[in-house]
Copies of this chain bind each other. A is one copy, B any other.
Amino acid sequence: MSTENDDAQAKLIDLAAEFYDQFAGGQIPEMSIPTRTKSNIEYDEDERVWVYGDRKSTRSANSVRGARKLLKAVYTIDFLANQLEEDRSSTLRELYYLSESWDAKEAQFSDQDESNQLIEDLEIVSDVTREDFHMRPEESGATLMGPLHLREQTRRGERDIHCQEDVGEGGYQIPNNPDTIEFLDHDADFILCVETGGMRDRLVENGFDDEHNALIVHLKGQPARATRRITRRLHQELDLPVTVFTDGDPWSYRIYGSVAYGSIKSAHLSDYLATPDAKFIGIQPADIVEYDLPTDPLSDSDKNALESELEDPRYQTDYWKEQIELQLEIEKKSEQQALASHGLDFVTETYLPERLSEMGII
């Protein structure tokens, strides 16, 4: 078993040991975790990420319902500890189904929400990430293309891969747990996270990664944890600036927000997933005006989402206030690919160079 597995396993077993000690000491076993309601999650202005407040909830065996929850936790800890022992992994859905094979009927999950929630609880209490429990997501599938040479530790041995020279046009497929990657060498000047596949392919076709020494990370809409994790690691370990290029609508600003500041749901993972220094490239409402882009009108739900972003602590900057208010005024949104109305090279020859140099990146 690797040291990382050892460490994650030890923390899990500590948890179970606590229950044991509580029993042995004549106490009713309980597990205390931060309350995960919105009122107990706050935005830390200094760290620029979401964190939990001080309120705690207690799962105690003093009720049948609470005792059953702790029983499920113990069975799950046992499963995870074995999984790490054998250096294997599984999906959240497999865990849910697998519980049907457990001998104690009471320990089986009644639906998948319950098992998902328990894994999140265990993440928080043990301070071990889901990835370190070896729980995989159902689908991941984002890719990376650019001047980066890396080594991935796979079950079949090490793979040394250069993310331009050793991959096809589809790029390098980011694994479910990017912490299996070691960065060997690179010629990159910055990271460019891109929302849509169409734009990612345009940048690769136009050789933008090559010409500007950019690492192009495809976000595929709302990015998976693996995508946010590798972005953070590239930023921290290689000291590269991170930029985010999305459509110009409130849902895409949330994609930027999730890369930069994390989400309420993953407030316990901000240190692991968020990149608060990430900068937003566009499409900005100001670009819609300046570049006279083809647009669609804002729908009511777009307007509501913008209004709620005006209240969201993550967007309390002069920059975002100005952009969001401008968008509410012009009542228009625009897509990344709308830049093609000025020709297929406009994005790589004009728009991105202009924006990136305004931002001081190139």
Q: Which residues of B contact A161 (CB under 8 A)?
A: 166-168
B170 to A173, Cβ gap below 8 A? Answer: yes
Copies per assembly: 2
Is A231 an interface position by the 8 A CB rule? no
* Cβ-neighbour of A168 out of B139, B164, B173, B201 (below 8 A): B173
Is A212 an interface position by the 8 A CB rule? no
Is A299 an interface position by the 8 A CB rule? no
* Cβ-neighbour of A170 out of B97, B137, B175, B210 (below 8 A): B175
The 5 closest A-B pairs by CB, nearest first: A170-B173, A139-B197, A91-B198, A100-B341, A94-B340
Q: Which residues of B contact A139 (CB under 8 A)?
A: 196-198, 220
A64-72, A152-160, A311-319: which one contacts chain B?
Answer: A152-160
Binding site for B on A (CB under 8 A): 88-91, 93-95, 97-98, 100-101, 136-141, 143, 152, 154-156, 159, 161, 164-176, 180, 196-198, 201-202, 205, 207, 210, 220, 294, 335, 337-344
Cα distance A294–B111 when bound, in Å? 11
Q: Which residues of B contact A98 (CB under 8 A)?
A: 340-341, 343-344
B159 to A170, Cβ gap below 8 A? Answer: no
Q: How far is the CB of A343 from chain B (nearest CB, A)?
A: 6
B88 to A344, Cβ gap below 8 A? Answer: yes
B167 to A159, Cβ gap below 8 A? Answer: yes
26 A-B residue pairings within 8 Å (CB atoms): A88-B205, A93-B337, A93-B340, A94-B198, A94-B337, A97-B337, A97-B338, A100-B341, A136-B198, A136-B201, A137-B197, A138-B198, A139-B196, A139-B220, A140-B170, A141-B141, A141-B197, A152-B168, A156-B207, A159-B165, A159-B168, A161-B166, A168-B175, A170-B173, A170-B175, A170-B176
Cα distance A118–B296 when bound, in Å? 22
Cα distance A177–B90 when bound, in Å? 32
A342 to B101, Cβ gap below 8 A? Answer: yes
